[in-house]
Amino acid sequence: MSGAPAPLLDVRDLSKSFGGVRALDRVSLTVDRGEVVGVIGPNGAGKTTLFNVLCGLAPNGGQIVFKGEDVTGLASHQICHRGIARTFQLTRPFVELSILDNVAAAVLFGQRHDGAMSLREARDRAGAILTEVKLDRRPASLAGDLLFAERRRLELARAVATEPELLLLDEVMAGLTVAEAQDMVEILEKLRRERQLTLLDIEHVMKVVMAICDRIVVLNYGEKLCEGRPAEVAAHQAVIDAYLGTERAGG
């Protein structure tokens, strides 16, 4: 049979409720290998819940197919070993460990086979990853002593350390200065190129979304409002009302 190759990630009718709150309401989306897909939507739209469910939180309905395999409901370490990693909106490194060992721990966690790697080798790999995220100047510093923007890059390093094919980014730009955000865009671009990463990127900064995404999915009250290329989505009146409108009203 001919036709387009199967998507890397195929999310079908995914639903997740918390009590009476429908955080995700039959959301379907696909991500092709090599794509950068943005996820936008107002606060509480269900963006982080989507990532939580993709990483092992049990949904109430729907299916997650990754590389052709149904991974719905697998445990988080199993999802990690299949090749999906995420960053957290609120970063939570081991504050009493060095930057290097935070990443080394993630390297070991990402190992597909038990006992295959020494701590020394994990630290070597961690050192190389710190260079990729421009955090290699003081690898022995405690993670708890990092500045805000550095903590973000450590969070990115820890996700990359598990050697994902699909990387889920939860607002990695939020709170960064313009210069820091520019730095982050460059780091992501390079990681993407050199590691052949596919990205699903939750992002509030519209300028960044427009610049780096091939495609954008808009969530609102747990539902997919629309999706398309950045210019199409920006022109979509419903998006302007639901998202850009509130942003303007809020800011």
Ligand X SMILES: Nc1ncnc2c1ncn2[C@@H]1O[C@H](COP(=O)(O)OP(=O)(O)OP(=O)(O)O)[C@@H](O)[C@H]1O
Q: Which does 41 bind (CB under 5 to 8 A by kind): ligand X, Mg ion, none?
A: ligand X
Nearer to ligand X, 44 or 230 (CB): 44
Q: How far is the CB of 21 from ligand X (least distance, A)?
A: 5
Contact of 84 with 8, CB cutoff 8 Å: no
Nearer to ligand X, 28 or 111 (CB): 28
Should residue 198 be labelled a site residue for Mg ion when binding is judged by CB under 5 A?
no
Q: How far is the CB of 89 from Mg ion (least distance, A)?
A: 5
Number of residues that bind Mg ion (CB under 5 A): 2
Task: Kindly indicate which of the ranges 45-53, 192-200, 207-215, 238-246 contains the residues binding Mg ion, using the contact rule CB under 5 A.
Answer: 45-53
How far is it, in rounded angstroms, from Cα 19 to Cα 90?
23
Structure tokens at 238: 């419903």
What are the angstrom distances between the C-alpha of 19 and each of 14, 23, 60, 179, 217? Answer: 16, 10, 11, 41, 25
What are the angstrom distances between the C-alpha of 133 and each of 24, 33, 75, 99? Answer: 32, 22, 28, 12
Phi-psi bin for 150: left (phi > 0), alpha (psi -120 to 50), beta? alpha
Interacting residue ranges for ligand X, rule: CB under 6 A: 18, 21, 23, 41, 43-49, 89
Task: Kindly indicate which of the ranges 30-38, 41-49, 126-134, 179-187 contains the residues binding Mg ion, using the contact rule CB under 5 A.
Answer: 41-49
Nearer to ligand X, 8 or 168 (CB): 168
Angle separating helix axes 148-160 and 119-132, nearest 10 degrees: 130
Should residue 48 be labelled a site residue for Mg ion when binding is judged by CB under 5 A?
yes
